[in-house]
Chain A
């Protein structure tokens, strides 16, 4: 007897385009940013790159990046 094992393969977007969940989006003011790295470090979903670009296709809009930014360089702006 043999059973088929359900195996999933790693893939970006495995949970869909989670950017559609957002009601507020993070907007970075690069003039204020001192590149401390806190936002990238604490983003639960890894949607902030090492150059502090936010991937809005996947960012869920949790607001943690804005909350942990010591320079208040990230504003959460209501989605249209």
Chain B
């Protein structure tokens, strides 16, 4: 296990809701990245939680940019740093709406150009900052303000889309496993080229659960297989942390769903379909881990 530095780059405190995953993730991302880093942030909760102008709670330079542009901005920034002989880490930190839907073409372009950067999508599975509208990352059956009776479609498989670009490194993480998150960010930043991380980030008001359950919910997501912790280095996939155990034995998806108010209207069929999705995912992942596909 890596020695995690005591340094804190997120000053007391951001204006994130009590129990929010975002500052928890940012604490560990910035510990891994260190001070020679620039964060590029598209419109999302993270744009507004930084504090009130002219002050900010984040003691690392941030460039706050327009929604669809984050990965394109990061591309130019990374080129400029490298041209000046600087190794400064360029990290995009965007929400699911800003990544899965709105920023996807800029992300695709930056990955294809081989930009030396790390794109991190923190996924709270809705447009949270504007009041929990559904996004492409909202799971089947989840109620949002625009799907009050539950979303009818499955979550978009962003990781499969990113994987099709063959990034040098890609990984998933979850705010409930900060050490795993730290290790992956540290590894990603040690490799030149385009890197991608996707972090499940439970959101108390959006997912409708009490603020003390953020870590518990992230663990239920992983233990049920609704979220899988893995990394792919140069195309080679391996499961990490609690997902190694989840590959063999899982708790029912329903245990994860019933801990959240957003799934109150989910139907029996939704639950069965989500359980089937998890089983299919693990079949595919096991094959990939064994090198069969």
| Contact status of A14 and B52, CB under 8 A, knowing A46-B27, A63-B19 | yes
B45 within 8 A of A: no
B121 within 8 A of A: no
Residues of B near A45 (CB, < 8 A) are 10, 12-14, 16, 23
| Contact status of A6 and B53, CB under 8 A, knowing A45-B12, A45-B13, A47-B12 | yes
Contact of A8 among B21, B22, B50 (CB under 8 A): B50
How far apart are B213's CB and chain A's nearest CB, in angstroms?
Answer: 7
Per-residue interface assignment for chain A, residues 50 to 64, with 1 indicating a CB less than 8 Å from any chain B CB and 0 otherwise: 100001011011111
Give the interface segment out of B54-62, B67-75, B236-244, B270-278: B54-62
Return the 5 tightest CB-CB contacts between A and B, nearest first.
A14-B51, A63-B212, A15-B15, A62-B19, A14-B55
A55 to B215, CA, bound (A): 21
Query: Contact between B13 and A67 (Cβ–Cβ < 8 Å)?
Result: no
Interfacial residues, chain A to chain B (CB-CB below 8 A):
6-16, 18, 21-22, 41-47, 50, 55, 57-58, 60-64, 66-68, 76
Interfacial residues, chain B to chain A (CB-CB below 8 A):
6, 8, 10-16, 18-24, 27, 49-59, 175, 178-179, 204, 210-216
Contact of B55 among A8, A57, A63, A76 (CB under 8 A): A8
| Contact status of A47 and B13, CB under 8 A, knowing A10-B58, A64-B214 | yes
Main secondary structure of the interface of A (DSSP, over half): loop
A18 to B212, CA, bound (A): 17
Residue among A46, A61, A66 with max Cβ neighbours from chain B (10 Å): A46
Residues of A near B54 (CB, < 8 A) are 6-9
Instruction: Supply 5 further A-B pairs (C-beta < 8 A) apart from A14-B57, A43-B24, A45-B23.
Output: A10-B59, A11-B11, A13-B12, A44-B214, A64-B212
A50 to B179, CA, bound (A): 17
How far apart are A64's CB and chain B's nearest CB, in angstroms?
Answer: 5
Contact of A41 among B8, B56, B178 (CB under 8 A): B178
Query: Contact between B27 and A14 (Cβ–Cβ < 8 Å)?
Result: no
**For residue A10, which residue of chain B has the nearest CB?**
B59
Residues of A near B214 (CB, < 8 A) are 44, 62, 64
